[in-house]
């Protein structure tokens, strides 16, 4: 692989193409999520990666323009919406500590009286969705709107088949929502919250869209695409902090060790990572590791930061 320090040959575009070739032997080591039946239909060998920089560079490789299921990556945009709406109010319902447990863990929530550890585990995300339902009946639409204005893009939509498939099988999330209701963490009916959350998770965008939409997190909250302030700079810092400490579930520590950037994953196989002051990078590869993060996507990000020198650490 080319080295950024080795001279004029280096370009982000070459680097992404090299990474795409380099990760190929790792295909087959992970498993596509199938607990949401409709997600199991995806081609496991898909691979797309895109980078956008504050200098105005934008490059992509592979299936970088193909929409895929954002799933838990939407929790990032949900958190931005909640913080933008009510400032610190959301922290009265949800904590900001790493969980060290699976994203859909139930027992800890019950033991901790319905207080979710952070907004990125499912319990916390359901509480954030409930909070946003107080603002709009169409939470997925609200989120798609944020992605579009942040990234200066027009596409993206809810995959209704994926939404229905998850709504029909979301027994664990319904159990979590009922525990949240018992403890007064959510206002709306548990099933309504889960249905809204499943629609939000079924949003589809490409990695190019995603990298563009995450760029404000690297740019003190400003979108160079729409020329709008998406969030105050202090909020961008806080969201990055929560991603750094909670974004990759019980692999957050090893991900920080390997990649060293705030990031958020989803069981659709996407990961978006932010390098404050430099840019944003997104990757999609549907096969997951045992925690539910993209296996090849993590390797690709590791190669990217090693070669591009992007790290907050």
**167 forms part of the interface with ligand DON (CB under 6 A):** no
Query: 3-class SS at 274?
Result: strand
| Cβ 241 to ligand DON shortest distance, Å | 19
Strand partners, 274: 280
**122 forms part of the interface with ligand DON (CB under 6 A):** yes
Token output for 115: 């207080």
> Which among 82-90, 150-158, 234-242, 264-272 is the span making contact with ligand DON, rule CB under 6 A?
264-272
Closest CA to 221 of 57, 78, 54: 54
> Which among 78-86, 262-270, 276-284, 296-304 is the span making contact with ligand DON, rule CB under 6 A?
262-270
Nearer to ligand DON, 77 or 222 (CB): 77
Taking CB under 6 A as the criterion, the residue among 103, 225, 304, 310 binding ligand DON is: 103
DSSP H helices in 104-206: 107-111, 122-133, 139-151, 160-169, 171-182, 190-201
Residue nearest to ligand DON (CB): 72
**266 forms part of the interface with ligand DON (CB under 6 A):** yes
Angle at 78 between CA 288 and CA 305, to 5 degrees: 50
CB atoms within 10 A of CB 167: 19
**285 forms part of the interface with ligand DON (CB under 6 A):** no
Taking CB under 6 A as the criterion, the residue among 129, 245, 265, 285 binding ligand DON is: 265
**223 forms part of the interface with ligand DON (CB under 6 A):** no
**72 forms part of the interface with ligand DON (CB under 6 A):** yes
**292 forms part of the interface with ligand DON (CB under 6 A):** yes
**286 forms part of the interface with ligand DON (CB under 6 A):** no
Nearer to ligand DON, 61 or 122 (CB): 122
**298 forms part of the interface with ligand DON (CB under 6 A):** no
Q: Indicate the length of the chain as a whole number.
A: 313
Enumerate residues 6+ apart whose C-beta is below 8 A from 176. 104, 106, 109, 122, 123, 126
Determine the size of the site formed for ligand DON (CB under 6 A). 13
* 217-241: b (≥16 Cβ within 10 Å) or e: bbbbbbbbbbeeebbeeebbebbbe
Could you give the residue numbers annotated as active site? 72, 75, 197, 249, 267
**CA distances from residue 69 to 74, 161, 267 in whole angstroms, order as listed:** 10, 11, 8
**201 forms part of the interface with ligand DON (CB under 6 A):** yes
Nearer to ligand DON, 219 or 283 (CB): 283
Is residue 263 within 8 A of residue 273, CB to CB? The reply is yes
Task: Name the residues that contact ligand DON, by CB under 6 A.
Answer: 71-72, 103-104, 122, 166, 173, 201, 265-267, 292-293
């Amino acid at each position: 692989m080319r080295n950024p320090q080795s001279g004029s040959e280096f370009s982000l575009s070459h680097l992404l193409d090299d990474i795409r070739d380099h990760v190929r032997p790792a295909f087959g080591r992970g498993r596509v999520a199938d607990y949401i039946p409709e997600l199991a239909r995806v081609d496991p060998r898909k691979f797309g990666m895109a980078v956008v920089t504050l200098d105005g560079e934008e490059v992509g490789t592979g299936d970088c323009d193909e929409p895929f299921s954002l799933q838990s990556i939407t929790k990032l945009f949900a958190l931005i919406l909640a913080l933008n709406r009510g400032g610190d109010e959301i922290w009265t319902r949800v904590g900001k500590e790493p969980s060290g447990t699976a994203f859909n863990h139930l027992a800890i929530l019950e033991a901790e009286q319905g207080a979710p550890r952070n907004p990125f585990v499912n319990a916390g995300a359901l509480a954030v969705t409930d909070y946003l339902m107080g603002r709009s009946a169409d939470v997925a639409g609200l989120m798609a709107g944020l992605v579009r204005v942040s990234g200066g893009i027009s596409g993206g939509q809810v995959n209704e088949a994926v939404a229905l498939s998850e709504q029909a099988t979301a027994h664990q999330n319904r159990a979590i929502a009922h525990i949240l209701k018992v403890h007064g963490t959510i206002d709306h009916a548990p099933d309504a919250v889960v249905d809204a959350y499943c629609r939000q998770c079924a949003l589809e965008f490409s990695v190019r869209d995603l990298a563009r939409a995450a760029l404000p997190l690297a740019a003190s909250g400003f979108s160079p695409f729409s020329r709008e302030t998406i969030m105050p700079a202090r909020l961008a810092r806080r969201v990055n902090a929560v991603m750094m400490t909670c974004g990759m579930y019980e692999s957050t520590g090893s991900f920080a060790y390997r990649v060293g950037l705030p990031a958020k994953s989803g069981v659709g196989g996407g990961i978006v990572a932010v390098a404050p002051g430099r840019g944003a990078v997104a990757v999609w590869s549907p096969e997951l590791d045992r925690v539910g993060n993209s296996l090849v996507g993590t390797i690709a990000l590791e190669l990217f930061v090693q070669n591009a020198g992007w790290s907050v650490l």
